[in-house]
Chain A
């Protein structure tokens, strides 16, 4: 029924994953990873796992986002590959 949405979200996730791995700027990579995590939360919702989706959202946007940015500020913003 709503498998089109799921497929779209999966494709966005894969794209986000590839971008996050390929982009030079780590800050951008981390933001892309946030998109990835948000999409995976959406996918979880669409598959009915609301608890997990909620956790993923809270963790992905909140804790991991903050940690990621903190780590980048503590180290370096750009990557060689």
Chain B
């Protein structure tokens, strides 16, 4: 049991983070809050990948002239890092677009609270 927790506690806490993010997106009614939840969600996934690239006793994936390239277990797995660079960029851009949308919504309806928005939309009809 202790073994499982030591090996997996990061994963488990990241799952908690994932759920918090999802909770924010589902339950919160403020659009900015939804976006905040979205960032948390994405961060948790990114961290999960990073955690998977970790190796016990390894160093960062920059070639150490003293070590040479022949001992793969001396370096962390660089692939998840590379993937997550892309994922972070995607997350940032999604955030930018969602801000543009929020601003457009605010310009049209004067609020970013979902219930108020829905109400005003209903009034419009």
Contact = CB atoms under 8 A, between A and B. Distances in A.
Contacts of A10: 10, 13-14
A79 B21 contact: no
A59 interface: yes
Bin the interface of chain B by size: 35 or more
Interface of B: 6, 9-10, 13-14, 16-17, 20-21, 23-24, 28-30, 32-33, 36-37, 39-40, 43, 46-47, 50-51, 53-54, 58-62, 76, 80-82, 84-85, 88-89, 92, 95-96, 99, 102-103, 106, 111-113, 115
- Looking at chain B's contact residues, the main secondary structure is helix
Interface of A: 3, 6-7, 10-11, 13-14, 17-18, 20-21, 26, 29-30, 33, 36-37, 40, 43-44, 47-52, 55-56, 59, 63-64, 67-68, 70-72, 74-76, 79-81
